[in-house]
Structure 1
Amino acid sequence: MRVKKQKRHRRAVRFYTACFGFREPFKIFCDGTFVHHLVVNRITPADTALTNILGAPVKLFTTRCVLAELKSLGGNYQESLNAANNLFTARCDHETRKSAEDCITEVIGENNPEHFFVATQDADMRRSLQKIPGVPLIFALRNALFLEQPSSFQREFAKSAEEKRLHMTDLEYNMLRQGKKRKLSDVKQGDSSNASEGETDDVSQAQIINTNLQRNGSDVKDKVRFKRKKAKGPNPLSVKKKKKKPVDTITTLGKENKNGEGTVRSRKRSRKRSRKNVVVGNA
């Protein structure tokens, strides 16, 4: 079951990276309900748990409105407030405090330009964000985290965007037509000046065709003949030279000559010592 969940998560992450341009490290927007659920169920460290389901490093964000909402809930949420203060703070530019849902929806905008994942336990908020293209949603059940599959609206939006990229826009079509008109006008101007040169070119082409007819007996041009590559020997630089065997002079002296001249006897030279001033003892 765990393997199937990982496959679903990888498939969803691949969809958002390919169709909407999400890149690592992934940025995750956490609201107060999600942070409180992590603290209560002791899913710590949160960044490691989210990295495991997304398969990539992450950065956790929140807003000042979310922090103010957690602060207003009292002492029961003090630990969640301390955990939320450790997250990165995204800029929301709200002078007066708004609810977390309104704040996050305004930061996400119409097409999520900052490529945020949104982590929340609010079902109504997740339902409203599914209508915005390119907004992945994360939620938790007890001590497990889940990434929602892309909605049908997001899939249809990605499909239509891909079809638009395959076809030319009206501006590109008009630019193409203007370019063709310019080329045609340039060709017409060049035809009047190169009329004499064109006649000589026609004569040369006719001569080439006649030579081909004489060679092949048909109006087909000569085919290009490629030389076959012959097998070559090994590279002499990469071939090792044969090592010469050392000749043992002592063993070869006693062998017969190949020319039939008899045997060669091995002679051992004896050193002659001269005896000088030898003292002869008395008999």
Structure 2
Amino acid sequence: MRLKRQKKHRKAVKFYKACYGFRHPYKVLCDGTFIHHLLTYRLTPADHSLSNLLGDSVTLFTTKCAIVELKRLGKSYSESIDAAHSLITARCDHDKIKNADACIMDVVGENNSEHFFVATQDAHLRQKLQLVPGVPLVFGLRNSLLLEKPSAVQLQFAKASEEERLHMSESEYKMLKKRTERLLKTEDIRASSDGNEDVGDQESAMKAVRKTHTVHKRLGVKDGPQFKRKKAKGPNPLSCKKKKNPVNPNPVLGKERNDKDGAVRSRSRKRKRSRGGKKLVESDV
């Protein structure tokens, strides 16, 4: 369950960063009920627990009206009053002291220009702030803190603002029209001047070529380089195979030719005779 909650909280924070321009360190505006809840369930230090919830560093704020409201509740809230005094007091423009919920609504305004995360335990105040675009809400549930998902009004407002960014406004369209007209005029002027310059350049280039051609003719200099044609040469001797001496395919064994007569003499092989017979004769004797 904790992993699912963390994923939901990260998704909500990414939505407010992308669509409403929230940046860290995140500003968290706390009322008296939320401060009292943190102390009763010992979710201290408060900045550490809120930074774990939002995934980045946090600065905590409160209002003068919220502190006055805590003082009215009596001595039982003395610890929460001391904790509220340690927080940064957000500037509220009204002169008279109001209720904490009305004061927070004034500080937030119509579009939450200061980019506050509002932390409160008041369900009625949370319902009001859900109708204001770009106000993320934090509340406590026993010993855990939760970030409410963006309301339908906030999602619709973000979609409408994105569509407005994609399309041009009337002032932007007029500016673009004026710029295009100026660019077209300057391009026409340049094209006309470039055309005249090109004609003059071509004529001067032709004159220069003619002059050089006549000078070369007088001096007998050829205009372009003349290349000799390559004739066919013999094969590379290193790439050729060496000639083999002719070998007689049918060699005559045991025959030689005379130089004078040309007759063929046969050379017979000597026959080895066994001398076994002589030995037998000697034995008989």
For this structure pair, what is the TM-score category when the shorter chain's length is used for normalisation?
A: 0.5 to 0.7
Deviating more after overlay: 60-69 vs 167-176: 167-176
Query: Aligned letter for 1:107?
Result: V
Q: Which residue of 2 aligns with 1:181?
A: 181
CA separation of 1:167 and 1:64: change in aligned 2, threshold 3 A:
same
Q: Which residue of 2 aligns with 1:161?
A: 161
Q: Which residue of 1 aligns with 2:117?
A: 117
Q: Which residue of 2 aligns with 1:59?
A: 59
- Aligned-partner Cα distance in 2 for 1:95–1:181: 54
State the 1:187 CA deviation.
Answer: 3.4
CA separation of 1:190 and 1:94: change in aligned 2, threshold 3 A:
closer
State the 1:194 CA deviation.
Answer: 4.5
State the 1:196 CA deviation.
Answer: 3.5
CA separation of 1:72 and 1:193: change in aligned 2, threshold 3 A:
same
Query: Aligned letter for 1:36?
Result: H
CA separation of 1:4 and 1:186: change in aligned 2, threshold 3 A:
same
CA separation of 1:41 and 1:181: change in aligned 2, threshold 3 A:
same
Q: Which residue of 1 aligns with 2:272?
A: none
- Aligned-partner Cα distance in 1 for 2:40–2:14: 31
CA separation of 1:193 and 1:52: change in aligned 2, threshold 3 A:
closer
Please give the residue correspondences for 1:1-283 in structure 2 after superposition, counting only pairs within 5 Å: 1-197=1-197
TM-score, length-normalised on structure 1?
Answer: 0.68
Q: Which residue of 2 aligns with 1:269?
A: none
CA separation of 1:190 and 1:24: change in aligned 2, threshold 3 A:
closer
- Aligned-partner Cα distance in 2 for 1:86–1:174: 53
CA separation of 1:201 and 1:177: change in aligned 2, threshold 3 A:
farther
* 1:200-231 Cα deviation digits (max 9, x unpaired): 7999xxxxxxxxxxxxxxxxxxxxxxxxxxxx
Query: Aligned letter for 1:74?
Result: G
TM-score, length-normalised on structure 2?
Answer: 0.67
Deviating more after overlay: 194-203 vs 3-12: 194-203
State the 1:198 CA deviation.
Answer: 5.5
Task: Identify unmatched segments of 5+ residues in structure 1.
Answer: 204-283
Structure with bigger gyration radius = 2
* 1:97-118 Cα deviation digits (max 9, x unpaired): 1000111111111111111000
Deviating more after overlay: 137-146 vs 175-184: 175-184
State the 1:121 CA deviation.
Answer: 0.5
* 1:239-277 Cα deviation digits (max 9, x unpaired): xxxxxxxxxxxxxxxxxxxxxxxxxxxxxxxxxxxxxxx
Q: 2:110 is paired with a residue of what secondary structure?
A: coil
CA separation of 1:40 and 1:184: change in aligned 2, threshold 3 A:
same
Poorly superposed stretches of 4+, deviation over 2 Å: 183-203
CA separation of 1:201 and 1:4: change in aligned 2, threshold 3 A:
farther
State the 1:90 CA deviation.
Answer: 1.0
Percent identity (aligned): 56
Q: 1:65 is paired with a residue of what secondary structure?
A: helix
Query: Aligned letter for 2:67?
Result: L
